[in-house]
Structure 1
Amino acid sequence: MSNTYFSLQREDWSLHRKGQQDQDRHRHKVKQAIKDNLADIVSDESLIMSNGRQIVKVPIRSLEEYRIRYNFQKGRHAGTGQGDSQVGDVIAQGKPDKQQPGKGEGAGEQPGVDYTEADVSLEDIQALLFSELELPDLVDKTPDRMITESIEFRDVRKKGLSGNIDKKRTLLESIRRNARAGSDKTQILPDDLRYKTWEEIEQPDSNAVILAMMDLSGSMGLFEKYCARTFFFWMTRFLRTKYDNVHIRYIAHHTEAHEVTEEHFFTKGESGGTICSSVYDFALRMIEQEYPPDRYNIYPIHFSDGDNLTSDNEKCVRLVKELSTKSQMLGYAEVNQYSRNSTMMNAFAKLDMPEFRKFIIRDKTEVYAALKHFFSRRDGVKSA
């Protein structure tokens, strides 16, 4: 018995999942790359002008894995490898950002890090962006007669309609019964049948209307219009993706305000002077005629460059106060690339109302922060 030898081995099934693990790592890397570059992606002009059909390329770090080279010191074990590492030594450690290649000021001497570009679809971008956005303070304002009925399968029973047979559970019941009986045959008996049962679920819809208001006067340059339209582009896709019962009305103004089509709003330009009170007055009349606050969640959002007729600012403040009382959230975004002194923002700075949110955009990458500011549950985020 002392001369008997045994050989024990076990197959490592984790090796069979190597392909799946690499795919999961790659998806995680791409998702993290999108998240890290989201501010730049949101303001990508090629994506906006492509009507949402563009494939975006985002840089991700190489997926090369660490490879361990063993080193056994002379006098202990014979082996291969080079270097002076000992058992337990740290062989790889992340560097602070300031020491990474490409970081810091001036020319560097560190070697570069390999990056590759991954194709990312609009759906991938939307999934991450829209997960951070929501209509603030949305409440149920739907009349009793406006109820959405849906059907949900919530239970499984032994009796039901033949069209509702749950094939998977029926087959499992048959396998369990045959196993208990010691039979290797798969025979389905009437007692094995399982049926899905459904219930009617009543879900009230929350009506909402978004008033997209934009200054198209002569003082709104290409940069100002681009930032405003980029914001409204993503806003429109977000609302139509996440909410079923939301109305979007597009209002343009210079010295006068008027409703325009979605195509006109995103493509056409106008000129003339600026009287911002015209758009607030127009929004109040539209709410009074079509969207009573007791039945609708109202969200007016106004984009301007802050260049308004000085004598009109006092009227704007008065109308904004009135509009705030009828709105769940009222937003004012000012595109101010060169940090000019804006009398309109100075006038609005004195307003302290929970429904009124303000934001200043100085760079196109701040459109992403503006989206999170206006479409967040609480007070939003502060502009830089």
Structure 2
Amino acid sequence: VSIPVPNIEIPHFRHGKKGSGGVGQGEGDPGQPIGKGEDEGDGQGQAGEDPGQHIREAELTIEELAQMLGDELQLPEIKPKGQSTIKAVKTKYNSIRQTGPDSLRHFKRTYKRALRRLISSSEYNPNRPVVVPTREDERFRSWTEVPLPHANAAVIYIMDVSGSMTDDQKEIVRTESFWIDTWLKSQYDGLQRRYVVHDAVAHEVDEETFYRVRESGGTRISSAYAESKKIIERDFPPADWNIYIFQFSDGDNWGEDNTSCLKTIQDDFLPICNLFCYGQVESPYGSGDYIRELRKVAGKYENLILSNIKDKEAIYESIRTFLGKGR
């Protein structure tokens, strides 16, 4: 990401032509407005040969932007779930050193060093090939700690792509999903992500499709829940994974009883998820009923977070609402 940073011009005095008059000098009456000088144009003309202003660019990596996002929103560091750790370190024996315990002595390297010493000093007798290593010949195995990506966080993004979701609402969802993803990747090594889009029927898609798909049709939220449940059962055992679900919709749930969807959340998702976040974007066509149903049970669960996203300006506060508890 490149951000233009304009240079700050330091104010300084500039002298005019000699003898052209000064403050309180020259022709004119008291109170007469001062107009433009003779040498000043109206800003129009042909291109010249003089250099123009140069704008400096500050380049930032996505990791730096994630840290800035966390600092600005005061997002807490995420706490790992149960016995799992966010980052793992593996001890690997991949080097040799001259000191160490006898249990780590490298016999082959020690023998070669001793043999090389005897041959170079003409002390080696092929008829009596006795090789006795000295302390200087000994070599020992050594280790280094290698960071081991420990992919113990899984995120499922659910987006409503039905006809009631306009392109503006879908753009809001994609923008917020991108920044949520950026923050979570800064907290976990090897973050696993899955994407579900749905209208009346749900589909698991890849990342590129999630950020580009344009669909229409009715809305059945239960289809997205069924597809998400399949993904968790297939790929992410809850005992080993920190699971996050971020659902975005306009609140329309055509032809379905919201009670069954609430039961699915309470029975299948909330007991195993670090967070279940529902963000509702305002659409001129959606009913907006679903968030009102979720509010009836939200007070019972700390990991059920709701956010009403009115427009693009509300994305900022919605991210703080979702991630502000550090779960």
Question: What TM bracket, shorter-length normalisation?
Answer: 0.5 to 0.7
Superposed displacement of residue 217, structure 1: 0.8
Superposed displacement of residue 133, structure 1: 4.2
Q: Is the 8 A contact 1:140 1:206 kept in 2?
A: no
For residues 225 and 59 of structure 1, what CA distance do their matches in structure 2 show? 33
Query: Where in structure 1 are there 5+ consecutive unaligned residues?
Result: 1-53, 66-115, 152-157, 161-196, 380-384
Tell me which residue corresponds to 1:71: none
Aligned length: 233
What are the Cα deviations for residues 255-300 of structure 1, in whole angstroms up to 9, with x where unaligned? 1111101111001211110001111122122212221111111101
Q: Is the 8 A contact 2:277 2:322 kept in 1?
A: yes
Q: Is the 8 A contact 1:209 1:299 kept in 2?
A: yes
Whichever residue aligns with residue 126 of structure 1, its letter is: A
Tell me which residue corresponds to 1:149: 90
CA gap of 1:285–1:198, structure 2 versus 1, over 3 A, is: closer
What are the Cα deviations for residues 129-164 of structure 1, in whole angstroms up to 9, with x where unaligned? 144446744325549xx953168xxxxxx989xxxx
Higher CA-based Rg: 2
Tell me which residue corresponds to 1:371: 319
Runs of 4+ in 1 over 6 A off after TM superposition: 201-204
CA gap of 1:274–1:340, structure 2 versus 1, over 3 A, is: closer
CA RMSD of aligned residues (A): 3.6
For residues 193 and 149 of structure 2, what CA distance do their matches in structure 1 show? 20
CA gap of 1:340–1:307, structure 2 versus 1, over 3 A, is: closer
Whichever residue aligns with residue 208 of structure 1, its letter is: A
For residues 287 and 258 of structure 2, what CA distance do their matches in structure 1 show? 14
Query: Where in structure 2 are there 5+ consecutive unaligned residues?
Result: 12-53, 93-97, 101-141
Tell me which residue corresponds to 2:29: none
Superposed displacement of residue 337, structure 1: 5.7
Whichever residue aligns with residue 321 of structure 1, its letter is: Q
Summarize the alignment of residues 263-282 of structure 1 with structure 2, pairs less than 5 Å apart: 263-282=208-227
Tell me which residue corresponds to 1:318: 263
Whichever residue aligns with residue 373 of structure 1, its letter is: T
Summarize the alignment of residues 1-384 of structure 1 with structure 2, pairs less than 5 Å apart: 54-57=1-4, 119-123=57-61, 125-131=65-71, 132-133=74-75, 136-142=78-84, 148-149=89-90, 200=145, 205=150, 207-309=152-254, 311-322=256-267, 323-336=269-282, 342-351=288-297, 352=299, 353-378=301-326
Query: TM-score, normalization: structure 2?
Result: 0.61
Higher helix proportion (structure 1 or 2): 1
CA gap of 1:327–1:63, structure 2 versus 1, over 3 A, is: farther
For residues 238 and 306 of structure 2, what CA distance do their matches in structure 1 show? 22
SS in 2 for 1:374: helix
Query: TM-score, normalization: structure 1?
Result: 0.52
CA gap of 1:120–1:215, structure 2 versus 1, over 3 A, is: farther
Whichever residue aligns with residue 148 of structure 1, its letter is: V
Superposed displacement of residue 215, structure 1: 0.7
Tell me which residue corresponds to 1:181: none
Whichever residue aligns with residue 322 of structure 2, its letter is: F
For residues 318 and 242 of structure 2, what CA distance do their matches in structure 1 show? 20
What are the Cα deviations for residues 39-80 of structure 1, in whole angstroms up to 9, with x where unaligned? xxxxxxxxxxxxxxx4234789x6869xxxxxxxxxxxxxxx
Tell me which residue corresponds to 1:43: none
- Residue identity (%): 29
